[in-house]
Structure 1
Amino acid sequence: MRDKPTLRIPFGILGLLFALAVYAVLVAKASDLIAGWHVLAQTVAYIVLGTIWLLPLKRFLVWMETGSWRIPPNA
Structure 2
Amino acid sequence: MGLRARRAIASVGIVAFLVLYVWGVIAIGAHVPDHPVATLLFYGLAGTLWGVPLLPLMSWAEGKPFLKKR
TM bucket, shorter chain: 0.7 to 0.9
Matched, 1:43 2:40: yes
Code of the aligned partner of 2:48: T
2:58 counterpart residue number: 61
The Cα of 1:54 is off from its aligned counterpart by: 1.3
Deviation at residue 5 of structure 1 after TM alignment: 4.2
Higher relative contact order (CA 8 A, sep 6+): 2
What are the superposed Cα offsets for residues 19-67 of structure 1, whole Å, 9 maximum, x if unpaired? Answer: 1000100111112112x3311111011000111111123222110010x
User: Which residue does the alignment assign to 1:10?
Assistant: 8
Structure possessing the higher radius of gyration over alpha carbons: 1
TM-score by length of 1: 0.75
Aligned length: 69
Does the Cα contact within 8 Å between 2:29 and 2:42 map onto a contact in 1? no
RMSD: 2.1
The share of aligned pairs that are identical, in percent, is 22
Which runs of no fewer than 5 residues in structure 2 stay unpaired? none
